[in-house]
Structure 1
Amino acid sequence: MNRPEKTRMCRVHTGLGPVNLMHARYVTQTFAPHFHEGYCLGVIERGALGFRYMGENLVAPAGAVNLAVPGEVHTGHAAHEAGWTYRMFYLDAGLLASAASQIAAKTVPLPFIRDGVLFDPGLARMIHRLHRRMQAPQAPLLEKETELLAVLTRVIRKYGRPHPPARETGREPVAVGTARDYIHAHHARDISVDELAAASGLSPYHFIRTFSRQVGLTPHAYLIQARVQRATHLLASGEPPAQAAVEAGFYDQSHLSRHFKRIVGTTPGRYRNSVQDHRSR
């Protein structure tokens, strides 16, 4: 008999910056196509996670490291009859940019890691230990920060590569970037295709095709993602789910909850309580 699904999230504040953690067990959970503002880095404890990433269908079994770079759309679902259990870090892009520049002793671009699954037992053990230490309130801050830097150093030195150059397709990359900025600036409104097309300088038909091809999400799916991201920030600051829903652009709390669970993996209320409970310790 499968054990019930369970998630635990928290945010740990360190001198290197805030670190978001999740320890979860999923069986029926299916993550909709989505992306993160920062890096995702974790280890599979039991079962197996299946996901689509960079045009490939991947499986991360127990003991494997799984990751995603900022802005790269991916999914998530069980690839084992018992589901999967994993420990995840959600790291600000600035944290890895700073670490990479310190390692290189000069300013360097954000590290790019092509593989979504790494079979590196040593790194997996380091991530597992760090995650457990981060969740322990009694663990010294210096120990947490030292182990965090050790993990980042190993990831960047062993797997980090220069980001591949973007394909040149005329004005389309600029147009899509403009549309993304417009969506983030006006996510709380009911944005129309005509608005986005006008902002990007493309026809509505050309805009939808170009945006979906380059981003990996339709404009509407991207809008939902932007609203969920805004809601996570509001919930982390202590706002009630109902208020966060409206401010983020959702019709009501149930509308937020439906999309939040498919992208974040838990409910808005549980997410808020997890972050607030850890802060109060």
Structure 2
Amino acid sequence: MNAVLSSCERIDIEGEAHSPRLGSQTDGGTNCKMEKQREQVKFWRWRSSSNHELSQEHDVELLRARYITHSFGRHTHDTFAIGVIQQGAEEFDYRGETHVAIAGTIAMINPGEVHTGHAATDVGWTYRMLYPDVRLLQQAASQLADHDASIPYFPNPVVQDEYLTGLMLRLHVALEEQAPQLEQDSRFLWTFSQLVWRHGGDRPTLKAIGNESRAIQIAREYLETHYTENVSLETLAAIAHLSPFHLLRTFRKQVGLPPHEYLNQVRFRQAKKLLVQGQPIREVAHVTGFADQSHLTRQFKRMIGVTPGQYRSP
């Protein structure tokens, strides 16, 4: 069982807990202040540019916020409301009971359910929320079960799941930073299928992974020859003649990486060759399919611990 986190700890995008800095405690160590005691809110909408069934004409609303004194009155959503508490704790009334979601937990509200929301302590709470359309989660459940499925229902409003917390945070950041399409599509489908599988009230039976080595080879070859393009999951799945979810599962098992990370590896290898030839970093980022120079730099730091400039001129 995971350890219970204090309301002063925060959770980063890797799902790891970090204790507050020295000097952040007050009242004899019984309380703490969140950095920069002020409320911050960012709200936006995301729609996949691909045409696969999981995102067709259904926006996903997203929220990244820190609340201290704000209080949500009794209200409902016509979507699911799912998010990760990164710091502090939120208290909310739901289904006739009062619940507290602390840092590191996931809060889940089903559509149409009346609930409230406010800080559980005087330090407030920081969280990342997603509000996916009902049909999006139904489609994720259908791909998970490999047949038409009903709308998922989540019986527990607060769950502690370290693996899923990491998935949710990385998905949220990928959508906020407008990551490459394959990464957005893959993270969205994988995260919500895992949510249904691990915490849905009606857990579907997973289809066994067969011997699809030829299909995965086709997908790999396509990524290796189209690495400059903004490939979608739908396109890759159609080429491999697999459903998007089955492609993700099979690709992970046979290659050891999800398709979007394999594509990053292909782009990374090409970028290294061009940098050694002395080509400008900005141009290298453009011709190898990275979003921009900063995206290329982040990948180099993550892969080999140095910047593209350092790699080009050792």
TM-score by length of 1: 0.56
Matched, 1:120 2:120: no
Aligned to 1:67: 108
Report the Cα distance in structure 2 between the residues aligned to 1:100 and 1:58, rounded to whole angstroms. 26
Aligned to 2:188: 148
- SS of 1:85 mapped into structure 2: strand
Of residues 74, 78, 82, the one that matches 1:37 is 78
- SS of 1:81 mapped into structure 2: coil
Matched, 1:11 2:11: no
Query: Which structure 2 residues correspond to residues 1-281 of structure 1 after superposition, within 5 A?
Result: 3-14=37-48, 15=50, 16-17=54-55, 18-137=59-178, 139-162=179-202
Comparing both chains, which one has the higher relative contact order based on Cα–Cα distances under 8 Å and sequence gaps of 6 or more? 1
- SS of 2:156 mapped into structure 1: coil
- Residue deviations 1:1-50, cap 9 Å, x none? 66111110111111332221100000011101111111111100110000
Residue 162 (structure 1) shift: 4.2
- SS of 1:145 mapped into structure 2: helix
Residue 105 (structure 1) shift: 1.9
- SS of 1:23 mapped into structure 2: strand
Residue 160 (structure 1) shift: 1.0
Ranges in structure 1 where 5+ consecutive residues have no aligned partner: 164-281
Rg larger in 1 or in 2?
Answer: 2
Residue 80 (structure 1) shift: 1.9
- 1:134 alignment partner AA: L
- SS of 1:108 mapped into structure 2: coil
Aligned-pair RMSD on alpha carbons?
A: 1.5
- SS of 2:47 mapped into structure 1: strand
8 Å CA contact retained: 1:58, 1:117: yes
Report the Cα distance in structure 1 between the residues aligned to 2:75 and 2:104, rounded to whole angstroms. 24
- SS of 1:157 mapped into structure 2: helix
Ranges in structure 2 where 5+ consecutive residues have no aligned partner: 1-32, 204-314
Q: Higher helix share goes to which structure?
A: 1
Report the Cα distance in structure 2 between the residues aligned to 1:131 and 1:162, rounded to whole angstroms. 25
Matched pairs, number = 162
8 Å CA contact retained: 1:53, 1:72: yes
TM-score by length of 2: 0.50
Report the Cα distance in structure 2 between the residues aligned to 1:54 and 1:102, rounded to whole angstroms. 30
Percent identical pairs in the alignment equals 39
Superposition misfits of 4+ residues, deviation over 6 angstroms: none
8 Å CA contact retained: 1:109, 1:162: no
- 2:193 alignment partner AA: T
Mean Cα deviation higher: 12-21 or 28-37:
12-21
